[in-house]
């Protein structure tokens, strides 16, 4: 197979995997509304059962870069597709709180594979880094955006178990197609993009520290927002909407993130990364603060703003790893990047349950706004340190 064809096929399946990764992980936060109605258990108890899934999502991402280097990225991505499909079927079969917790944990372990492995494959095969990161981000965000609406629709029509069974079958079919159509890892046609000049750094440890702080705090705002959003709309919009309409509105809000990621992909190819980072980070506390203080349409506006900010930041963070880390270390760097972000954000589930019980979603969103302020402070520090690294160096595309 020619390198060009291998790259095109690899990028297609990496994008499909990204969509499925976010879609499947966000089935439960919407399905839990139907599960609560069927079982009589309260929301806080049921959402708490997903703690293991979101902790595993981050914790298990750490070894994935090393496993990909040893067994091959293609092998790991195939395990992702097949493992995700089987774990969806497992959750659908759950009949007790213990079964829910166990199968959601297995689902979280499978979900941890995608980001370290898929991001490395994307950077390797990308022709234009910013553009391809933006497109990949759109696939992921469309997966997240459609999860609430599709889950609500299927749960209302066929029951909540079908909301897990159908995506599980799609994952299994995608895994079989991937194994049949992508014969190996390859270096593809993306080496020119993957080998783009690295940005020189005079104080790498300081830059790493503030980037790590932004990743951890950003992971918290990301997970708190995406997990809580369907229930925030259900509880605080004040319109007493049925589940299908609540899920559809959540899908619409998430959809704005897709537009932001396309925009970020183009900006990354043209402007300084630290500058983009600061501008995007400023939107996080602003959007969350508005959502915490308001109801009705202002609440929706705040949620749209924060969704655009958190999904746009994903593109920028991945571009930073691609441009600041040498190719031979990228798989491990992506593992560490997602380990930091997702492990910390795994505690978003118990935090939501705790704060919701204490003061409702106003308190949940206020706490998330605090994490957003930390992201903004880290972005400002990152910009200052990056400017010190090469004060006389003219701005280059995607810096």
- 3-state secondary structure labels for all residues of 97-161: HHHHHHHHHHHHHHHCCHHHHHHHHHHHHCCCHHHHHHHHHHHHHHHHHHHHHHHHHHHHHHCCC
| Residue 399: inside a domain | no
CA distance linking residue 349 with residue 46, whole number of Å? 10
Between residues 59 and 24, the one the model is more confident about: 24
Is residue 330 a part of any domain in this protein?
A: yes
d(CA 27, CA 150): 9
pLDDT of residue 44: 75
pLDDT at 111: 92
Domain residues for the domain of 147 are 3-389
Residue range 202-208: mean pLDDT, rounded: 80
Instruction: Check pLDDT > 60 for residue 392.
Output: no
Dihedral, CA of residue 66, residue 4, residue 258 and residue 285, to nearest 10: 40
What is the tens place of the pLDDT at every residue in 59-111? 888 888 888 888 888 999 999 999 999 999 999 998 888 888 999 999 999 99
Spatial separation of the C-alpha atoms in residues 38 and 178, rounded to whole Å: 37
- 287 in a structural domain: yes
Over 70: is that where the pLDDT of 236 sits?
no
Whole-prediction pTM: 0.73
CB 375 within 8 A of CB 281: yes
Mean pLDDT, the chain, whole residue set: 82
Average pLDDT over residues 230-250: 69
> Any idea what the CATH number is for the domain that residue 169 is in?
1.20.1250.20
* Burial classification of residue 206, based on how many CB atoms lie within 10 Å of its CB (0-12 exposed, 13-18 middle, 19 or more buried): middle
pLDDT computed for residue 197 by the predictor: 61
- Considering the domain boundaries, does residue 181 fall inside one? yes
Given a cut of 80, whether residue 349 has pLDDT beyond it is no
Contact 314, 137 (CB under 8 A): yes
Structure tokens at 332: 């491990």
In a domain, 359, yes or no: yes
Residue 345's pLDDT band, with cuts at 50, 70 and 90, is: low
| % of the chain with per-residue pLDDT over 90 | 21
pLDDT higher than 50, residue 193: no
Confidence at residue 241, expressed as pLDDT on a 0 to 100 scale: 63
How many domains is the chain partitioned into structurally?
1
Nearest Cα to Cα of residue 27 among 79, 85, 76: 85
Query: Is 77 part of any domain?
Result: yes
Contact 212, 381 (CB under 8 A): no
Does 398 fall in a domain?
Answer: no
Residue 395 in any domain: the answer is no
């Amino acid at each position: 197979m020619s390198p060009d064809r291998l790259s095109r096929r690899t990028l297609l399946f990496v994008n499909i995997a990204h969509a499925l990764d976010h879609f499947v992980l966000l089935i439960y936060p919407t399905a839990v509304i139907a599960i609560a109605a069927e079982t009589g258990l309260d929301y806080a108890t049921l959402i708490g059962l997903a703690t293991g899934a979101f902790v595993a999502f981050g914790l298990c991402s750490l070894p994935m870069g090393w496993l990909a280097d040893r067994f091959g990225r293609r092998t790991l991505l195939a395990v992702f597709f097949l493992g995700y499909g089987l774990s969806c079927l497992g959750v659908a079969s759950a009949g007790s709180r213990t079964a829910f917790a166990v199968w959601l944990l297995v689902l979280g372990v499978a979900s941890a594979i995608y980001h370290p492995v898929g991001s490395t494959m994307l950077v390797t095969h990308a022709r234009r880094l910013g553009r391809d990161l933006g497109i990949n981000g759109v696939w992921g965000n469309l997966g997240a955006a459609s999860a609430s609406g599709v889950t609500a629709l299927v749960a209302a029509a066929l029951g909540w178990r079908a909301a897990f069974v159908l995506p599980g079958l799609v994952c299994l079919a995608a895994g079989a197609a991937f194994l049949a159509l992508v014969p190996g890892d390859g270096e593809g046609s993306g080496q020119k993009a993957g080998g783009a000049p690295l940005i020189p750094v005079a104080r790498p440890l300081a830059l790493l520290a503030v980037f790590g702080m932004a990743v951890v705090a950003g992971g918290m705002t990301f997970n708190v927002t995406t997990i809580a959003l369907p229930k925030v709309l259900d509880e605080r919009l004040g319109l007493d909407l049925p589940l299908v309409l609540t899920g559809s509105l959540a899908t619409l809000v998430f959809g704005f993130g897709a537009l932001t990621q396309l925009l970020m992909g183009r900006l990354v190819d043209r402007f300084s990364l630290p500058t983009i980072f600061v501008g995007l980070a400023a939107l996080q506390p602003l959007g969350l603060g508005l959502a915490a203080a308001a109801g009705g349409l202002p609440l929706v506006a705040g949620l749209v703003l924060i969704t655009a900010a958190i999904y746009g930041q994903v593109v920028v963070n991945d571009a930073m790893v691609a441009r600041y880390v040498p190719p031979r270390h990228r798989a491990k760097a992506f593992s560490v990047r997602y380990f930091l972000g997702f492990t910390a954000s795994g505690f978003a589930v118990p935090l939501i349950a705790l704060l919701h019980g204490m003061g409702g979603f106003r308190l949940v969103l206020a706490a998330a706004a605090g994490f957003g302020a930390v992201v903004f402070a880290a972005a400002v520090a990152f910009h200052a340190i990056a400017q010190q690294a090469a004060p006389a160096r003219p701005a280059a595309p995607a810096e």
